Copies of this chain bind each other. A is one copy, B any other.
Amino acid sequence: MNRFDGRKTDDIRPIKITKDYLIHPEGSVLIEMGNTKVICTVTIDEKVPPFLKGSGQGWITAEYSMLPGSTKGRKFREATKGKLEGRTHEIKRLIGRALRSVVDLNKIGEITLWIDCDVIQADGGTRTASITGAYVALVDALNKLVEKGTLKSIPIKNYVSAISVGIVKDVPILDLCYKEDSNAKVDMNVVMTDKGEFIEIQGTGEESPFNNEELMSLLALAKKGINELIEIQKSVLKIEL
């Protein structure tokens, strides 16, 4: 049985990753995943947070936002309200953790890599698209440091992508769009390496609890999707880690 948009349960949406999307940042990517579109940029700041001063170690921090026009019904601007909502905090922390976990921060020196993920258009899966796109921008920015001679090699061992999975009408499916996401009884985001190892699992039984068997199906779907995403990342980056 096909999904409302014609996809099979284990199909991801069409993906397009545009590298060097902007002229100013050290790394920049537009990732399109179906109708979801996110600009991911990496900017290098020659400072570290206070707790790392003098440590010789670098840092990675992430921020996330949705443009007011990215959603159906205008999304209020957090800058105007004067504070980030809880969901934004949750997502920026997830993106930061995911990318920090694959970079050897001892090898980049005392710099901060700012990851910015700005959702231009939202149709489900914006946080996982952010991670998948930001990873490409990050490798690209580090690669430029290698080309400039600042770094000897890219201090990253694994490819990393992220994808959402969920259970809709009792069927586990891969890469939920917004319409599916709002009807999911279980919702899970998975961040995984090209070795098939987990960096992060966040699963919620929003409407009802889920059992072990369902968990296994979801993780298998996620693995399939992540492998496909990593192939696309490789073809865009053309870099061997």
Interface residues of A (CB under 8 A from B): 22-25, 28, 35, 39, 41, 43, 45, 63, 65, 67-74, 77-80, 82-84, 86-90, 92-93, 97, 101, 114, 116, 118, 120-122, 158, 188, 192-193, 195-212, 215, 219
Contacts and interface: CB of A to CB of B under 8 A. Distances in A.
B84 A80 contact: yes
A92 B68 CA distance: 14
11 contacts: A23-B121, A24-B70, A24-B121, A39-B69, A43-B68, A43-B73, A74-B114, A80-B84, A90-B90, A90-B93, A197-B209
B202 A101 contact: no
Contacts of A210: 197-198
Copies assembled: 6
Contacts of A219: 212
Given A68-B114, A80-B63, A198-B205, A74 B23 contact: no
